[in-house]
Structure 1
Amino acid sequence: MEGKKRKRSEYKRYWSRDGPQKIPRSTKHSRKSSSSKHFAQKTEPLQESSSDLDEHFDEDSTDMPVVSVLMNSYREKEAAHTSEPEMIVNDLPSDVEPHIETECDHNDHTSGEPDMDNSFSEENNLLSVGLCDGDDDQSKPPANDTSFDDEFCCNFNVDDDGCVSEEESSTHSSPARTCDSSPQSDNESSSDSDDEMAIAPQLHLTIQEKIKILLLLATKKRHNLSYSAAENIIDLANVLSHKDENTAFHPTKHIMKRAIELYSFALSEHHVCPDCGVYIGVVGTLSFYCAKCDKTFVTLNNRSDGNMFLYLPMEDQLRALLENCLSEETIIDTRSRKKINQHNYEDLFDGAFYKKYVSAEFLTLNFFIDGVQIGTTTKTSAWPILVSLNELPLHLRRKYLMMASVWLSKKKPKCNEYLKPFVQECSKLQTEGVHYKRNGKNLVQKFKVCVCVSDSVARPLLRNCNQFNGKCGCGLCYHPGIRMAFGRGFIRSYSTHERIYPLRTHEETMFYARQAEQTAVKHIKGIKGQAILSDIPGFDIVKQLDPDSFHCLVNVGKRFAWLWFDEKFHNEPFNISRRLSEVDTRLLKITPTSDVSRFRSLTERSDYRGHEWYHWIMIYSIPCLKKILPNKYLNHWSKLSYALALLMQNSVAKSEVVYANRYLNSFVSEIDNLYGAQHVTFSVHLLTHLTQSVEDFGQPWCHSAFIYEAVNAEIKDLVKSSNGAIFQITKGIQLKVALKKCESEVRHEMNSKEIEYLNRMLTSDISPKPHCSIQNASLLGKPKISVLNPDMLRAMRRAGIVLNETIPHSIYFRCIVNNEIFHSSEYKKAKKQNNSVALLEDNSIFILDSFIVPDSSDMCFALGRFIMEKKQQKLCDTLPPHLKVLKNNPEGTLRAIPISDIVSKLLSFSVNVSETETFRLAFVNVLSMEFLK
Structure 2
Amino acid sequence: MFNEHFPGLVPATSYLFYKAYGQFGQYVPHFYCINCESYMGPRETAPKKCSSCNAEFDFERNLRVGSYFLVHSLSTQIVDIVEKSGIHLNERESIPGIVSDIQCGAEYEKLKQSGQIGADDISVLWNCDGIPVFNSNNFQIWPIQFQVIELSPKDRQANICIPCLWFGKSKPNMITFLTAFVAKLKELEQTGVKWIDSEKVEHTSKINLLLCSSDSVARPLLRNTKQFNGKYGCDFCLHTGGGPYVWETPEPPLRTEMDHFRHAMLATPANPVMGVKGPFPLMELESFKMITGFIPEYQQSVCLGVTKQIASLWLDSKHHNEDWYLGGKVSDIDQELLAINPPVEVTRAPRSVKERKFWKHLSGGHFCCFMHCLF
TM-score by length of 1: 0.35
Query: Are residues 437 and 344 of structure 1, via their aligned partners in 2, closer, same or farther at CA, if it must alter by over 3 Å?
Result: closer
Matched residue, 1:332: 90
CA distance in 2, matches of 1:594, 1:613: 13
CA spacing shift, 1:319–1:224, aligned 2, 3 Å: closer
Q: 602, 607, 617: which is aligned to 2:360?
A: 607
Is the aligned partner of 1:292 residue 2:49?
A: no
Distance 1:510 1:269, change over 3 A: same
- 1:443 corresponds to which residue? 203
Q: Contact 1:365 / 1:387 at 8 angstroms: preserved in 2?
A: yes
SS of residue paired to 1:309: strand
- Give the 5 Å matches for 1:345-384: 345-357=99-111, 358-361=116-119, 362-384=121-143
Q: Which residue of 2 aligns with 1:592?
A: 341
Where does 1:237-276 land on structure 2 (aligned, <5 Å)? 255-256=15-16, 259-260=19-20, 262=22, 264-276=24-36
1:660-739 superposed matches below 5 A: none
Q: Quick one: distance in 1 between partners of 2:56 and 2:86?
A: 46
Whether the 8 Å CA contact 2:89–2:150 is kept in 1: the answer is: yes
In structure 2, do the counterparts of structure 1 residues 411 and 618 end up closer, same or farther at CA, with 3 Å as the change threshold?
A: same
Once the two structures are superposed, what CA deviation does each residue of 1:350-396 show, in whole Å capped at 9, x if it has no partner?
A: 43432333433322111011112223333222111110111122222
**Letter paired with 1:395:** K
**Which structure: larger Rg?**
1
What is the CA–CA distance in structure 2 between the aligned matches of 1:504 and 1:510, rounded to whole Å?
Answer: 10
Partner of 2:236: 476
Once the two structures are superposed, residues 478-498 of structure 1 have per-residue CA deviations (whole angstroms, 9 ceiling, x without a partner) of 1112x5xxxxxxxx1211245
Q: How far did 1:225 drift?
A: 6.9
Please list, as runs of the form range in 1=range in 2, the aligned pairs for 1:907-926 lying within 5 A after superposition.
none
Write the distance in 2 (CA, Å) between the matches of 1:475 and 1:223: 35
Verify: 1:315 aligned to 2:75, yes or no.
Answer: yes
Quickly say closer, same or farther: Cα 1:446–1:313, change in 2 above 3 A. same
Structure 2 vs 1, CA of residues 412 and 296 (structure 1 numbering), >3 Å: closer, same or farther? same
C-alpha offsets along residues 723-751 of structure 1, whole Å, 9 cap, x if unaligned? xxxxxxxxxxxxxxxxxxxxxxxxxxxxx
**For residues 140-539 of structure 1, what are the structure 2 equivalents within 5 Å?**
222=8, 226-227=12-13, 255-256=15-16, 259-260=19-20, 262=22, 264-283=24-43, 289-327=49-87, 330-333=88-91, 337-339=93-95, 342-357=96-111, 358-361=116-119, 362-438=121-197, 439-481=199-241, 483=242, 492-517=243-268, 522-539=271-288
Matches within 5 A, 1:760-771: none
| 3-state DSSP of counterpart to 2:213 | strand
Q: Distance in 2 between matches of 1:371 and 1:532?
A: 20
Q: Which amino acid aligns with 1:312?
A: H
Specify the code of the residue in structure 2 equivalent to 1:510. Answer: F
* Residue 306 of structure 1, CA deviation: 3.5
Pair 1:551-2:300 in alignment: yes
State the distance in 1 between where 2:2 and 2:207 align: 31
Report deviation, 1:546: 1.6
Q: Structure 2: which 5+ runs fail to align? A: none
Please show how residues 32-181 of structure 1 align to structure 2 within 5 Å: none
Cα gap change, 1:322 to 1:584, in 2 (>3 Å): same
> How far is the alpha carbon of 1:580 from its aligned partner?
9.8
Contact 1:371 1:382 in 2 (8 A): yes
Distance 2:255 2:363 in 1: 29
Deviations, residues 765-808 of structure 1 (Å, cap 9, x unaligned): xxxxxxxxxxxxxxxxxxxxxxxxxxxxxxxxxxxxxxxxxxxx
Deviation of the 1:403 alpha carbon: 1.1
CA apart distance, 1:320:
0.7
Query: Contact 2:209/2:287 (CA < 8 Å) preserved in 1?
Result: no
Is the CA contact 1:477–1:504 (under 8 Å) kept in the aligned structure 2? yes
Taking only the aligned residue pairs, the percentage that are identical comes to 23
2:318 partner letter: N
Question: AA paired with 1:571?
Answer: K
Measured against aligned partners, the alpha-carbon deviations of 1:51-73 in whole angstroms (never above 9, x if no partner) come to xxxxxxxxxxxxxxxxxxxxxxx
Letter in 2 for 1:499: P
Amino acid at match of 2:221: L
Are the equivalent residues in 2 in contact too, given 1:570–1:577 (CA < 8 A)?
no
Distance in 2 between residues matched to 1:134 and 1:451, nearest whole Å = 23
> Is 2:40–2:47's contact at 8 Å kept on the other side of the alignment?
no
Q: 1:900-933 CA deviation, whole Å, 9 max, x = no partner? A: xxxxxxxxxxxxxxxxxxxxxxxxxxxxxxxxxx
Cα distance in 1 between the residues matched to 2:126 and 2:253? 27
Contact 2:69/2:166, CA 8 A, preserved across alignment: yes
Deviation at 1:577, TM superposition (A): 11
Q: What's the CA shift for 1:266?
A: 2.0
Query: Retained in 2: the 8 A contact 1:364–1:447?
Result: yes
In 2: Cα distance, 1:394 partner to 1:494 partner: 35
Contact kept, 8 Å, 2:166 with 2:172, in 1: the verdict is yes
* Distance (Å, rounded) in 1 between the aligned partners of 2:330 and 2:61: 55
Change over 3 Å in CA distance of 1:224–1:313 after alignment to 2 = closer
The answer as to whether partners of 1:288 and 1:299 remain within 8 angstroms in 2 is no
* Aligned residue in 2 for 1:571: 318
Secondary structure, counterpart of 2:229 in structure 1: coil
| Aligned AA (2:372) | I
- State whether residues 278 and 417 of structure 1, in contact with CA within 8 Å, keep that contact through their aligned partners in structure 2: yes
The residue identity in structure 1 corresponding to 2:255 is R
2: CA distance, partners of 1:561 / 1:301:
53
Describe how 1:687-836 pairs up with structure 2 within 5 A. Answer: none
Q: 1: distance between equivalents of 2:91 and 2:49? A: 49
Q: Contact between 1:286 and 1:298, CA under 8 Å: does it hold in 2?
A: no
Distance 2:342 2:369 in 1: 15
CA RMSD of aligned residues (A): 3.3
C-alpha displacement at 1:440, in angstroms? 3.4
Residue identity matched to 1:402: C
More off after superposition, 492-501 vs 528-537: 492-501
Give the Cα separation in 1 of the matches to 2:271 and 2:333. Answer: 49
C-alpha change, 1:271 and 1:584, in structure 2 (3 Å) is: farther
CA distance in 2, matches of 1:561, 1:426: 44
Equivalent residue letter for 2:117: S
- Partner AA of 1:283 in structure 2: R
Q: Do the aligned partners of residues 441 and 591 (structure 1) sit closer, same or farther apart at CA in structure 2, a change above 3 Å counting?
A: closer
- Aligned-pair CA distance for 1:588: 6.7
Residue in structure 2 matched with residue 239 of structure 1 by the alignment: none
**8 Å Cα contact 2:141-2:168 kept in structure 1:** yes
Rounded to whole Å, the distance in 1 between the matches of 2:45 and 2:284 is 29
Deviations along 1:67-113, one digit per CA (max 9) or x if unpaired, are xxxxxxxxxxxxxxxxxxxxxxxxxxxxxxxxxxxxxxxxxxxxxxx
Distance in 1 (alpha carbons) for counterparts of 2:68 and 2:150: 33
User: Do the aligned partners of 2:128 and 2:144 also contact (CA within 8 Å) in 1?
Assistant: yes
Which residue in the other structure is 2:289 paired with? 540
Matched with 1:119 is none
User: Does the Cα contact within 8 Å between 1:587 and 1:599 map onto a contact in 2?
Assistant: no
